[in-house]
Structures are given as C-alpha cells and as structure tokens.
C-alpha cells in the first residue's frame, strides 16, 4: 500500500488497448506468495491479457451522516469531479455508487464522463447510517455485469469513506484493483479505512495525498 496515487500511471498501464502488456493481479497466487507477511510488490503475480476493453473505474461514495461532518462529503464530491475529468481525458469509463441511510444506488454509468460532471455531482446529498455492505454489494454487481460484457476490461473499485461503519464486508471479487480513499479526520482517528485496505489487500491513500496528485496532473498546475 502506498501513501500516494497517480491516476495516469495506474489507468494508463491498464488501458493500453490491444497490447499484450496490460495486466491484472492474480490474487490467489499473490496471496499464497505473501503467506502471513505484509503484501509487497515482489509477492504480486499477474494475469497477462489484452486490455481491449479499456478501464472501468467504479467509485463507491459514502453519503452517510458522518461524512457531512467537516465538509467531508463536499470534499469527496470535489475529488470526484477532478477524477471524472481525468477519466474523460483518458476515455476511461466510470460509474458512481452512492450509499447512505438504508440504500445504495447507482448514480452514474458505466459510461465515459462528459464535461458537465460538476452539475450532477453537486446535488448528491447525505445523511443517515452507513450501509457499507450494501454499497460494496451493489458495486460488485455492477462490475460483474461489466466483466460479462467485456472480459478484458480492467475493473477498478474506489471506496471513498471515513470508515465509520459497523461490520466489514468481504473484498469485492469482481474487481482487479481496489483503492481505499480515507476521509477520516479528527484528533482520535479510528483507522478503519487502513484496516479495510489491509483486509482487502487494497491500495490505501488519504484524501489529501490524492487531491495533491489530481491537482498536480492538471495542465495549468505549477
């Protein structure tokens, strides 16, 4: 797990249509190689295949009441606008699943985002409980459907949350790569996002680090 993330580095490697170099992680062999140790790059095994289908990034957004504290949800929506803009430039498909209260719904996609992303992301509201399991289940269904349509498409799941939920669902099986974006703030952090990333063998990144990367990738960034 890393402290920072570069969209174009990760998505660019996975979206090289028609090349034999595009790879996805073979998780059973990778987990067998690491045994009880922390997952390291040398443990990773890959399945080599032609990524003719490009990349699908499924964002799972926590819209629960706790995300309203400290403007976390507003920050998350701003980050989504930036990530959707980057997906548009690389012609990557995206989907957005929002969970909060007692439900989880698909708000967008899968589709290549357009320039008006901010207009429809801004009205997304929040409140209620944190049905993390429902959100992950809905995202997994969406990714499984995408896998049946285009077998060679790379499937990424991004979980945007402060981690303040009860229970820990299993790692979604229909995804090639998972990124957990930590929105937790406060003097006494629970560290749930890091725990989720550890249990899922996922990439962990804080929202501050990811925001720095997206801003640095903009053409007018200094």
Domains in the chain with CATH codes: 7-16+54-216 (3.40.50.410)
Least confident of 11-15, 77-81, 138-142: 11-15
pLDDT-derived band at 8 (thresholds 50, 70, 90) equals very low
Cα 218 from chain centre: 20
pLDDT-derived band at 183 (thresholds 50, 70, 90) equals very high
pLDDT of 21 reads 38
pLDDT-derived band at 170 (thresholds 50, 70, 90) equals very high
pLDDT of 137 reads 95
Q: Is the pLDDT of residue 25 over 80?
A: no
* pTM of full prediction above 0.85: no
pLDDT of 4 reads 37
């Amino acid at each position: 797990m890393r402290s920072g993330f570069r969209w174009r580095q990760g998505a660019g490697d996975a979206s090289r249509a028609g090349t034999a170099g595009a790879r996805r992680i073979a998780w059973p062999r990778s987990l067998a190689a690491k045994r009880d140790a922390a997952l390291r790059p040398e443990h990773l095994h890959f399945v080599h295949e032609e990524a003719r289908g490009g990349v699908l990034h499924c964002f799972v957004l926590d819209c629960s009441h706790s995300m309203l504290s400290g403007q976390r949800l507003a920050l998350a929506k701003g980050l989504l606008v930036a990530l959707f803009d980057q997906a548009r430039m690389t012609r990557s498909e995206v989907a957005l699943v929002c969970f909060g209260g007692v439900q989880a719904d698909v708000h967008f996609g899968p589709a290549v985002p357009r320039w008006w992303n901010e207009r429809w992301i801004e009205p997304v509201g929040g409140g209620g409980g944190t049905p993390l399991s429902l959100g992950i289940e809905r995202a997994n269904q969406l990714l499984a459907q995408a896998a049946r349509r285009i077998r060679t498409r790379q499937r990424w799941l991004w979980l945007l949350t402060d981690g303040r939920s009860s229970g820990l669902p299993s790692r979604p099986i229909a995804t090639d790569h998972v990124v957990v974006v930590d929105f937790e703030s406060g003097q006494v952090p629970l560290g749930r996002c890091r725990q989720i990333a550890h249990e899922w063998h996922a990439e962990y990144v804080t929202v501050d680090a990811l925001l720095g990367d997206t801003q640095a990738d903009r053409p007018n960034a200094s």
